[in-house]
Amino acid sequence: MPTLYGIKNCDTVKKARQWLDKHKIDYRFHDFREDGLTQAMLKHFAEQLDWQELLNQRSTSWRQLDAAQKADLNEDKALQLMHETPTLIKRPLLDADGKWLVGFKAERYQAEFDH
């Protein structure tokens, strides 16, 4: 069963959930705020996807970081920042039986579930 990771009040996550519901695709939803986010989960995400793809540098949360937090960014530092501030993670993350999608685009979801 696919797992959708995100934050339930995020507009993009809402769109992904609506698309999955509309297409009658069973999935598990993991809310970072309610269900938690561990370092192990983040490490697993980074093993599946490039950490730079996970980090949302266009988010309000990113803009609120100070220069020192943004400086000398590497995987460990980025994962620590995402652990401290889950809204720095691009959302939603979809694990569709080992195939990972970041963000939501209806065409990409359609292509993934049309097989």
Q: Give, for all 115 residues of the chain, the pLDDT tens digit.
A: 999 999 999 999 999 999 999 999 999 999 999 999 999 999 999 999 999 999 999 999 999 999 999 999 999 999 999 999 999 999 999 999 899 999 999 999 999 998 6
Label residues 26-65 b or e (16+ Cβ within 10 Å = b): ebebbbbeeeebeeebbeebbeeeebeebbbeebeebeeb
Q: Is 10 a catalytic residue?
A: yes
| Total domains in the fold of the chain | 1
**Residue 8 maps to which CATH number?**
3.40.30.10
What is the token pair recorded at 89?
Answer: 């993670």
**Of 2, 8, 9, 10, which residue is the catalytic one?**
10
Domain that holds residue 67: 3-113
pTM of full prediction above 0.85? yes
